């Protein structure tokens, strides 16, 4: 007589595959997938989800084994390995599935900022060694002196881009990406200094910085959160301390300069390494906002979302 028995190993395999499938569905339905991977990787994960569903269905339909279907001519009272036994490795896979389903996915923020970048003795881009001194520039009033904030464009660093066309000139007042500034301010400084733009990002207060300064940041990712690089700009405003780490804001401000040598030691602002006068966004208006559905930036060729 044919009989069936429960293959506990195959059942556990089916449940684990089902759990991973549900986890991916959760990421896509909630939009949390954008906190983990770049858009082109999300497309691949959709294909992965399809494969997982097929594997789950196969495991579910095959977890019953037929004892009499075995063509072995020996006694079936002993264990001959035709069923799968749950192993420690399989059980360990339950842990990431459970965590993924129960714990909300958080975007990278100030707590993951690499504040250990040391650049005290490196040579700057113009060939000189910059002496690191404590910045003494502070705000003395609630308003700025526009004459002091005015940047002499003849004295700002400029990359030698002979034969290479300049990037498009951004419209003043437009919302820009921090990546746009980082990539192009040395190529065409006149497009950015002394001009007013809007930026969005999360707030980061480096330890020991004055109360009138903070850094506006976003992470640049190529594939996933594991390769994230923070990019930011120093913001100067009297009520900087009002905005807490990781809070998202939109800032309307003018790009000027300040002597902030300690910015070279902060990963998010070290893209302007070695130059005495650092880009600073003089904040005219700051508005708290919700964290965007997609909090990261992507290389220009990969930015298929159209966002900043």
Q: Considering 86, 105, 124, which residue would you say is the last residue of a domain?
A: 105
Question: What pLDDT does residue 90 have?
Answer: 65
Q: Considering 75, 105, 135, which residue would you say is the last residue of a domain?
A: 105
Residues 197 and 281 in one domain: yes
141-200 pLDDT, tens digit each = 334 555 578 999 999 999 887 878 889 999 999 999 999 999 999 999 999 999 999 999
- What's the whole-number mean pLDDT along residues 118-126? 39
Question: What pLDDT does residue 99 have?
Answer: 78
Residue 248 lies in a domain: yes
Residues 64 and 129 in one domain: no
Residue 308 pLDDT exceeds 70 = no
Residue 292 lies in a domain: yes
Indicate the angle between helix axes 8-30 and 39-62, nearest 10 degrees.
150
Residues 283 and 153 in one domain: yes
Three-state secondary-structure class, residue 168:
coil
Residues 172 and 190 in one domain: yes
Residue 51 lies in a domain: yes
Question: What pLDDT does residue 294 have?
Answer: 92
- Residue position matching structure tokens 């930015």: 303
Question: What pLDDT does residue 214 have?
Answer: 97
Determine the structural domain holding residue 165 and report its residue range.
111-302
The overall average pLDDT reported for the chain is: 80
Computed from CA positions of residues 138, 229, 176, 274, in that sequence, does the dihedral angle turn out positive or negative? positive
Question: What pLDDT does residue 185 have?
Answer: 95
Q: Which residue has the higher pLDDT, 63 or 260?
A: 260
Residues 46 and 159 in one domain: no
Residue 308 lies in a domain: no
CATH number for 221: 2.40.50.140
Question: Which pair of tokens denotes residue 197?
Answer: 């733009």
Residue 34 lies in a domain: yes
Residues 75 and 142 in one domain: no
Residue 67 lies in a domain: yes
| pLDDT-derived band at 75, boundaries 50, 70, 90 | low
Residues 196 and 287 in one domain: yes
Please state the separation of Cα 192 from the chain's center in Å: 24
Residue 264 pLDDT exceeds 50 = yes
217-258 pLDDT, tens digit each = 999 999 998 899 999 999 999 999 999 999 999 999 999 999
Residue 78 pLDDT exceeds 80 = no
Residue 122 pLDDT exceeds 70 = no
Rounded distance between C-alpha atoms, residue 11 and residue 85, angstroms: 10
Contact yes or no for 188/195 (Cβ under 8 A): no
Residues 174 and 289 in one domain: yes
Residues 176 and 84 in one domain: no
Name, in order, each residue with C-beta under 8 angstroms of 216's C-beta and a sequence gap of 6 or more.
Answer: 178, 199, 201, 202, 203, 204, 232, 233, 235, 249, 251, 281
Residues 282 and 260 in one domain: yes
Residues 144 and 254 in one domain: yes
Q: Considering 105, 120, 137, which residue would you say is the last residue of a domain?
A: 105
pLDDT > 90 fraction of the chain, expressed in percent and rounded: 52
Burial class, 90, CB count within 10 angstroms (exposed 0-12 / middle 13-18 / buried 19+): middle
Question: What pLDDT does residue 151 have?
Answer: 92
Residues 140 and 288 in one domain: yes
**Torsional class of 119: left (φ above 0), alpha (ψ -120 to 50), beta (otherwise):** alpha
Q: How many independent structural domains does the chain possess?
A: 2
Residue 204 lies in a domain: yes
Task: Please tell me the pTM assigned to this model.
Answer: 0.75
Three-state secondary-structure class, residue 196:
strand
């Amino acid at each position: 007589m044919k009989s069936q028995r429960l293959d506990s190993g195959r059942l556990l395999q089916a449940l684990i595959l089902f759990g991973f499938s549900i986890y991916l569905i959760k990421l896509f339905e909630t939009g949390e997938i954008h906190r983990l991977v770049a858009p082109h990787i999300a497309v691949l994960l959709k294909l992965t989800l399809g494969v997982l569903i097929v594997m789950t269905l196969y495991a579910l339909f095959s977890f019953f084994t037929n004892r009499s279907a075995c063509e072995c001519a020996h006694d079936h009272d002993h264990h001959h390995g035709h069923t799968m036994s749950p192993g420690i490795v399989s059980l360990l896979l339950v842990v990431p599935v459970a965590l993924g389903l129960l714990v909300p996915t958080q975007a990278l923020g100030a707590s993951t900022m690499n504040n250990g970048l040391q650049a005290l003795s490196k040579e700057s881009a113009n060939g000189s060694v910059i002496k690191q001194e404590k910045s003494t520039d502070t705000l003395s009033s609630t308003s700025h002196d526009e004459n002091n904030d005015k940047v002499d464009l003849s004295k700002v660093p400029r990359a030698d881009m002979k034969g290479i066309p300049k990037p498009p000139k951004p419209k003043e007042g437009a919302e820009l990406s921090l990546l746009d500034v980082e990539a192009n301010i040395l190529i065409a400084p006149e497009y950015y200094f002394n001009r007013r733009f809007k930026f969005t990002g999360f707030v980061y207060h480096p330890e020991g910085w004055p109360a009138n300064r903070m850094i506006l940041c976003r992470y640049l990712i190529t594939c996933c959160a594991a390769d994230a690089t923070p990019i930011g700009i120093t913001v100067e405003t009297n009520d900087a301390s009002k905005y807490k780490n990781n809070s998202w804001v939109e800032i309307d401000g003018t790009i000027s300069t300040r002597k902030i040598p300690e910015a070279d030691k902060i990963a998010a602002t070290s893209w302007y390494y070695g130059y005495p006068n650092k880009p600073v966004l003089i904040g005219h208006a700051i508005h708290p906002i919700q964290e965007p559905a997609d909090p990261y930036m992507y290389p220009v060729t990969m930015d298929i979302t159209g966002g900043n």
